[in-house]
Chain A
């Protein structure tokens, strides 16, 4: 998995609670991404980062925030989890220019009850 870890790997939480997912890389790559994967939708970009404290929104950013205070860590926060945010979340990095190949973490399965 190209030195990418995600934590937790599984989480069940209740509606309305805040949740933070962590992505950690060991390669000091500049670009990091958060996606969600849902049946019938493929992967959809939530937020991405192109450096420490430099982030931007993706296609489905509502209800999510991110932070990147260190090169190696990219945090995704669900400010107030809703059932529609039940999904599998993937972190990815790219070692080259942003549109070059991406390397994915193992995913976090989040269930919001």
Chain B
């Protein structure tokens, strides 16, 4: 099945550093989304990028999309301890459902 695969599976950094995580997928998409999940909580939508967009910003988040390589990256700049969470990409296979990847666990040390 079409699924986003995040890389790396886990990432540990110090506060103030940048965090980059990547997502690869298998088939063409309409859009790609990134979500954050804090421990024990539901997922929270961060950003959506459409297939005709190459880059999108939201605060300290920067998302890129390369449809030729079927990949996306999420950059969190100047990370904070509060950014500690799992991050998931999600792609749409059709127009009625999303397929989520397995996530990247980010740990930001103060």
Residues of chain A at the chain B interface (Cβ within 8 Å): 1, 31, 33, 35, 40-45, 48, 50, 56, 58-59, 90, 92, 97-107
A106 CB → nearest B CB, Å: 5
Q: Is the C-beta of B54 less than 8 angstroms from some C-beta in chain A?
A: no
Known: A42-B88, A42-B103, A99-B30. A33 touches B42 (CB 8 A): no
How many chain B residues touch A (CB < 8 A): the figure is 25
Q: Is the C-beta of B52 less than 8 angstroms from some C-beta in chain A?
A: no
Residues of chain B at the chain A interface (Cβ within 8 Å): 1, 3, 30-31, 33, 40-45, 48, 88, 90, 92, 94-103
Known: A40-B102, A100-B48, A106-B42. A48 touches B96 (CB 8 A): yes
* Whole-angstrom CA separation of A56 from B95 in the bound complex: 13
Other A-B pairs beyond A42-B3, A97-B95, 9, CB < 8 Å: A41-B102, A42-B102, A43-B88, A45-B97, A48-B96, A59-B1, A101-B48, A102-B98, A107-B40
Nearest B residue to A94, CB-CB: B98
Pairwise interchain contact B42-A104, C-beta atoms closer than 8 A: yes
- In the complex, 14 of the A-B residue pairs with CB atoms within 8 angstroms, ordered by the A residue number, are A1-B42, A41-B102, A42-B100, A48-B96, A90-B42, A90-B43, A92-B43, A98-B92, A99-B31, A99-B94, A100-B48, A102-B43, A102-B90, A107-B42
Nearest A residue to B96, CB-CB: A98
* Whole-angstrom CA separation of A104 from B42 in the bound complex: 5
B103 CB → nearest A CB, Å: 6
Q: Indicate the member of A42, A92, A101, A102 with the most B CB atoms within 10 Å.
A: A42
Nearest B residue to A100, CB-CB: B48
Query: Across the interface, which residues of B come within 8 angstroms of A107, CB to CB?
Result: 40-42
* Whole-angstrom CA separation of A93 from B56 in the bound complex: 24
